[in-house]
Every structure is written in structure tokens, then in C-alpha cells.
């Protein structure tokens, strides 16, 4: 079918609009052809992918992403979900952040890490989901959590302090970069004994003068230091 797959660009991403009437096998073949034809245009861009037009299982989503990466030079950062607020917040962060490309070593994990789960990697990692209390992420490089961070994270786990942690909702249990541990300010308590919960905003933790700093993400902040 001639227009069974349509590609549309959006900031930092590509929408794959799919015909819902054809078989999934034919769809995969057409996606492969589309991305082979578009490879000269997209080249080795780092993008988010949005799959639209038909309901897909997680296995089908993975097959589509495999078809894209096997037929193009794209670096897929994440698969955009149906949570529009989280999508917009991700795009806001992605507008300012990019992993160092010295080894083309960024990794992507889609899913929530629950109590007892652990990820260990030598590479930078983007997690599309929450890192819950009781879970841990160890990365020798940088960590980006496109969700709530209430678990423990260790960036620069090989001992390098020149790395960072980003989260859309930053409330870590333990946050360590290299050999430096973040010591946050004490929680504010109201006169009724309740902890005040600040509004969630994307934040970045990084090291400066031997201390882990944590600040809201702004263009001015990210322009002031080298990631």
C-alpha cells in the first residue's frame, strides 16, 4: 500500500504514522523501506520515535524499532508514550542535553525500576520510566531518568566526577557522582508535621568545586558548563 507508512519530523523526533489496515508483517517491510529511503536525510541523528495510527504490543514496538535501526543510521533515544505531559517535559530536557559521543555509547531502557531492581552499565543511560525507592542504577557515565527518581543512582561509578544525573522529578534516595555524594537540604515541615512537596521540575545534578550541585534545568545553566 503506497502510503501505509508516513514519516513526519517534530523537534528532536520522528513520528511514524502507520496504516491500521495492513498486516503487521507488511507494515514492518514498509517501515524498513521508508527508513532506508530516508537514511540520507536523517543520517545519524539522535531522535525520539513516536508510533501512531494503530495499537501495538510491546513486542511489535520492539520489532519496529529494530527495523528502524537496521535500516538507518538513526540513534533512537526513546519511544514516546501516550503521556503527553511527560512527552513535553522530555522534549524540554532533550532540547538542552546531549550525551557525549566519544564512544557512541548511550543506552536506552524503557520501563519502571521497582524495589529490588538494579541496572549496571559502563555507558550513559536514558531510562524512560520511574526509578523507584529500593532500586539502583549504576553507570560509569551519565544517567537521565525521564520520570520520577526516588531510588539510588551512581553516575561516574568508575570514579570519574565529571558526569551528571538528570530526572524529571528529582527526589533520590542516594545520588552519587564519582566519589562525591549529594547532600540535599533538609525537608521543610509545616507546623502540622507534614512534609511540603515542591512542584516537580526537571533537575540536573553535577559536580562543581568538589561538591554535587542540584539545580532546575535552564538553558543558561547548561550553557555555563561542559557536559
**21 alpha-carbon distance from chain centroid:** 32
What integer best gives the mean pLDDT of the chain?
A: 82
What is the band of 50 on the pLDDT scale with cuts at 50, 70, 90? confident
Q: How far apart are CA 174 and CA 58, in angstroms?
A: 31
Note whether 22 and 122 are same-domain residues. no
Backbone angles phi, psi at 189, to 5 degrees: -120, 135
pLDDT, one tens digit per residue, over 71-120 is 998 877 777 765 555 555 555 555 555 544 444 456 778 788 888 888 88
- 208 located within any domain: yes
pLDDT at res. 133: 94
C-alpha cell at 48: 525520539
- 128 located within any domain: yes
Of 8-17, 79-88, 98-107, 216-225, give the lowest mean pLDDT range.
Answer: 98-107
pLDDT over threshold 60, residue 62: yes
The torsion defined by the Cα of 105, 109, 113 and 116, in degrees rounded to 10, comes to: -50
Collapsing DSSP to helix, strand or coil, 63 comes out as helix
Most confident of 54-58, 99-103, 196-200: 54-58
- 39 located within any domain: yes
Give the pairing type, strands 175-177 and 152-155. Answer: parallel
- 86 located within any domain: no
Percent of all residues in the chain with a pLDDT value above 70, rounded to a whole number? 77
48: left (phi over 0), alpha (psi -120 to 50) or beta: beta
Rg (CA), the chain: 19
Cell 532533550 locates to 94
Note whether 118 and 184 are same-domain residues. yes
Of 33-37, 45-49, 54-58, 173-177, give the lowest mean pLDDT range.
Answer: 45-49
Domain assignment of residue 47, given as a range: 5-79
- Nearest 5°: the CA angle 69, 35, 5 is 120
Q: Which residue has the higher pLDDT, 108 or 221?
A: 108
pLDDT, one tens digit per residue, over 137-191 is 999 999 999 899 999 999 999 889 999 999 999 999 999 999 999 987 655 555 5
pLDDT over threshold 90, residue 211: yes
Long-range contacts of 35-39 (CB under 8 A, 24+ apart): 35/7, 35/67, 35/68, 35/71, 35/72, 35/74, 36/71, 36/72, 38/7, 38/72, 39/71, 39/72, 39/73
Question: Domain of 157: which CATH number?
Answer: 2.160.20.70
Q: How far apart are CA 94 and CA 224, in angstroms?
A: 17
Q: What is the mean pLDDT of residues 16-39?
A: 93
Question: What's the domain count of the chain?
Answer: 2
pLDDT at res. 103: 47
Q: How far apart are CA 225 and CA 177, in angstroms?
A: 16
Q: How far apart are CA 29 and CA 130, in angstroms?
A: 33
Collapsing DSSP to helix, strand or coil, 59 comes out as helix
Note whether 117 and 204 are same-domain residues. yes
Give the pairing type, strands 136-139 and 152-155. Answer: parallel
Note whether 68 and 129 are same-domain residues. no
- 89 located within any domain: no
Amino acid at each position: 500500500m503506497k502510503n501505509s507508512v508516513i514519516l513526519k519530523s517534530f523537534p528532536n523526533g520522528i513520528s511514524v504514522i502507520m496504516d491500521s489496515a495492513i498486516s503487521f508483517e507488511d507494515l514492518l517491510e514498509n517501515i524498513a523501506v521508508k527508513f532506508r529511503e530516508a537514511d540520507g536525510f536523517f543520517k545519524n541523528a539522535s531522535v525520539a520515535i513516536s508510533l501512531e495510527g494503530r495499537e501495538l504490543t510491546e513486542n511489535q514496538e520492539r520489532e519496529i524499532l529494530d527495523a528502524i535501526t537496521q535500516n538507518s543510521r538513526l540513534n533512537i533515544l526513546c519511544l514516546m508514550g501516550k503521556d503527553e505531559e511527560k512527552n513535553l517535559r522530555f522534549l524540554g530536557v532533550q532540547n538542552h542535553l546531549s550525551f557525549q559521543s566519544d564512544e557512541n555509547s548511550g543506552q536506552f531502557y524503557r520501563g519502571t525500576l521497582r524495589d529490588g531492581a538494579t541496572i549496571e552499565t559502563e555507558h550513559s543511560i536514558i531510562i524512560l520510566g520511574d526509578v523507584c525507592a529500593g532500586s539502583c542504577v549504576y553507570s560509569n557515565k551519565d544517567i537521565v531518568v525521564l520520570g520520577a527518581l526516588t531510588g539510588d543512582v551512581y553516575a561516574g561509578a568508575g570514579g570519574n566526577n565529571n558526569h551528571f544525573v538528570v530526572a524529571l522529578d528529582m527526589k533520590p534516595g542516594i545520588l552519587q557522582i564519582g566519589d562525591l555524594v549529594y547532600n540535599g537540604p533538609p525537608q521543610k515541615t509545616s507546623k502540622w508535621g507534614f512534609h511540603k512537596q515542591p512542584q516537580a521540575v526537571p533537575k540536573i545534578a553535577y559536580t562543581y568545586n568538589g561538591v554535587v550541585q542540584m539545580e532546575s534545568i535552564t538553558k543558561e545553566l547548561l550553557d555555563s558548563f561542559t557536559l
